[in-house]
Amino acid sequence: MRSIQLWQAGAVLNRSPKGQHMGFDYSLNPYRGCSHACRYCYARESHTYLDLNVAEDFEQKLFVKENLAVRLNAELRKIPLDAVIAIGTATDPYQPLEGHHHLTRQALQLLLESGHPFTVTTKSPLIERDIDLLAAMGARGQVGVHISLLSTDKKVIRALEPGTSPPDRRLATIRRLKAAHIPVGVFVAPIIPGLSDQPDALKALFSAIREAGADWAMTSTTRLSDAIRDYFINQVATIDPKAAAHIRSLYGSSQFVEASYRRVLSRQLDHLYREFQIGRHGPRLHPHRVQEQLEFFEQPHFS
């Protein structure tokens, strides 16, 4: 049974590990746990820190950082204006909880005023609600949006991401963001051996991304930590036992797929990027130096 707990977070901005080129300096996740229930989600492991499990608990025991806006308002003043913030690195900031709690929209309103550059990653069409804010910041070069989509096959999406919107709906979101002049690309991630890595499947996906007007596509393979490896492979086995055995053989006890597989996949992706003329990276983001910025930070927000 689903439960929602209001949580007072001690901090909401998490510093990226030093020495790791993440493409951002801080991450921001308004919610912990995710009802999208993506079987491969590496963030499932974070629930074990709360003595909860990576399976049903991650999907059903959800935490709302009720004080996010107050904390974010305080923390933004302490970081450089050019520090890039990534919203939605662990759980989806537009999962259904957002429709009631509006924490992500509150964060966008604060970023509109502070001027910090940021990205948003989501699978949800709920992001269209915030086109007004995103368009204003897109015009500044302050924001880039990533829509996550690993396949155009509805059966694959339903099996691996049971709580998410179908592929066609996400592609429609890309078109709507693009029409509002908001920089938008796609996370083709994760690419899953035996389920979403077939040449025809990837070609269909890149074709759909191109047709929707996305500005870029970024790809990655599945990362399987010790905490989620068996859970994920067992989930795949209920869909396709052959694919599950293939994944186990490619990963062994490692978090990452073997190098020979990555080399073959890389060549395949290189061809698709050339064929469909899609960029590999999002735009360079820029801070916006807001007039009277110090006055903004001196005022309470969302108290």
pLDDT value at residue 1: 81
Task: For the chain, give every domain's residue range.
Answer: 3-289
CA dist 177 and 118 (Å) reads 16
- Among 59-68, 89-98, 294-303, the minimum mean pLDDT is found in 294-303
pLDDT value at residue 302: 53
pLDDT value at residue 239: 92
pLDDT reading at 179 higher than 50: yes
pLDDT reading at 160 higher than 50: yes
pLDDT reading at 291 higher than 90: no
* Residues belonging to the chain: 303
pLDDT value at residue 20: 58
Can you say how many angstroms the Cα of residue 63 is from the centroid of all Cα atoms in its chain? 18
pLDDT value at residue 23: 86
Q: Which pTM value belongs to this model?
A: 0.93
| DSSP code of residue 180 | T
Q: Any residues with CB less than 8 A from the CB of 98 and at least 6 apart, and which?
A: 30, 31, 104, 105, 124, 126
C-beta separation of 144 from 84 below 8 A? no
| pLDDT tier, 303 (very low <50, low <70, confident <90, very high otherwise) | very low
| pLDDT tier, 17 (very low <50, low <70, confident <90, very high otherwise) | confident
C-beta separation of 195 from 156 below 8 A? yes
The pLDDT tens digits of the residues spanning 183-229 come to: 999 999 999 999 999 999 999 999 999 999 999 999 999 999 999 99
Give the percent of the chain with pLDDT over 70.
94
- The residue-averaged pLDDT of 149-164 equals 97
pLDDT reading at 294 higher than 90: no
CA dist 50 and 2 (Å) reads 16
CA dist 16 and 2 (Å) reads 31
Domain 3-289 sits in CATH at 3.80.30.30
**Secondary structure element (H or E) that encloses residue 122, with its range:** strand 118-122
For 172, phi then psi, to 5°, come to: -65, -35
- The residue-averaged pLDDT of 170-180 equals 98
- The residue-averaged pLDDT of 130-146 equals 98
- The residue-averaged pLDDT of 232-248 equals 96
Average pLDDT of the chain?
94
- The residue-averaged pLDDT of 251-277 equals 97
CA dist 176 and 80 (Å) reads 32
Of the candidates 121, 149, 164, 265, the residue with the CA atom closest to the CA atom of residue 209: 149
pLDDT reading at 255 higher than 90: yes
